[in-house]
């Protein structure tokens, strides 16, 4: 079965067709810049333009960088605050003209990794972390998602953890991999103290360079790189949209 997945981010909106049974893209990705300001109507227009590039039927899965409950955005990370309280699923349904399943972006990436990537077949507590502009998180217990965990906003010495250990912080402060790994280790240590995971999956754009920093990370839990890289959000969104069928 082939469904459309769209990944809405702070800098870009990209989509592709996905074979949801094997988690593989069946088309080239198409990307457009996220509009500035990233207000709901403008983002919806761009998402609809992305959707029109693909010949497909059925529901559409869309990721969004926010807490999403029943299609409504309750936070707005790296997008305009006007999203807070917006029925994002309803807005996108009107713009795209098809049923839309809207979910948190890190949750979508986690779904993809658990079904077709590094977490496939893994039981216990699995935490997927995406290191990029911020830190996204997805938590699974025996394969079942605990949605909207937003662990990147965990307090770490008076600041959100993502303001100390995101990939954006690494680049902005020009940290070496060793220096950045110290901050990430502090963050992972806090997560271990609270949740005692069996497995960490490290994703986001920085995971493409995992060989530079993964050996520097020290956790009791097993720690592995994500396998699906930048395709994870699109794949997870399309898989999630199957619930609308």
**Nearest one of 64, 71, 62, 73 to 90, comparing CA atoms:** 71
Superfamily of domain 2-107+231-244: ATPase, nucleotide binding domain (3.30.420.40)
Q: What's the pLDDT at 130?
A: 94
**Nearest one of 207, 194, 186, 182 to 129, comparing CA atoms:** 207
Contact 144, 124 (CB under 8 A): no
Each domain of the chain, given as residue ranges in start order, spans: 2-107+231-244, 121-227
Q: What's the pLDDT at 64?
A: 96
Q: Which of the four pLDDT bands, split at 50, 70 and 90, describes residue 22?
A: very high
Q: What's the pLDDT at 202?
A: 97
Q: What's the pLDDT at 10?
A: 84
pLDDT of 183 over the 90 cut = yes
Alpha carbons within 13 A on the beta-carbon side of 137: 23
Q: Which of the four pLDDT bands, split at 50, 70 and 90, describes residue 129?
A: very high
Q: What's the pLDDT at 229?
A: 83
Report the range out of 71-80, 203-212, 217-226 with the highest average pLDDT. Answer: 217-226
Same fold, 2-107+231-244 and 121-227: yes
44-100 per-position pLDDT tens digit: 999 999 999 999 999 999 999 999 999 999 998 778 999 999 999 999 999 999 999
Q: Which of the four pLDDT bands, split at 50, 70 and 90, describes residue 193?
A: very high
Superfamily of domain 121-227: ATPase, nucleotide binding domain (3.30.420.40)
């Amino acid at each position: 079965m082939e469904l459309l997945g769209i990944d809405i981010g702070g800098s870009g909106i990209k989509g592709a067709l996905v074979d949801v049974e094997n988690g593989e893209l069946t088309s080239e990705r198409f990307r457009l810049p996220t509009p500035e300001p990233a207000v709901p109507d403008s983002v919806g227009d761009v998402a609809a333009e992305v959707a029109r590039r693909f010949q497909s039927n059925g529901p559409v899965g869309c990721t969004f960088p926010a807490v999403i409950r029943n299609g409504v955005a309750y936070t707005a990370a790296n997008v305009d605050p006007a999203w807070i309280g917006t029925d994002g699923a309803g807005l996108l349904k009107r713009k795209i003209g098809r049923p839309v399943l809207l979910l948190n972006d890190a949750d979508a990436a986690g779904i993809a990794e658990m079904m077709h990537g590094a977490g496939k077949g893994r039981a216990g507590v699995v935490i997927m972390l995406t290191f990029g502009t911020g830190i996204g998180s997805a938590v699974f217990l025996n394969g079942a998602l605990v949605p909207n965990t937003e662990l990147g906003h965990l307090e770490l010495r008076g600041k959100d953890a993502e303001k100390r250990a995101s990939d954006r912080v690494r680049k902005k402060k020009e940290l070496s991999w060793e220096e950045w790994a110290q901050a990430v280790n502090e963050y992972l240590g806090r997560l271990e103290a609270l949740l005692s995971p069996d497995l960490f999956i490290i994703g986001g754009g920085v995971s493409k360079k995992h060989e530079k920093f993964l050996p520097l990370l020290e956790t009791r839990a097993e720690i592995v790189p994500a396998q699906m890289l930048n395709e994870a959000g699109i794949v997870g969104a399309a898989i999630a949209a199957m619930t609308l069928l």
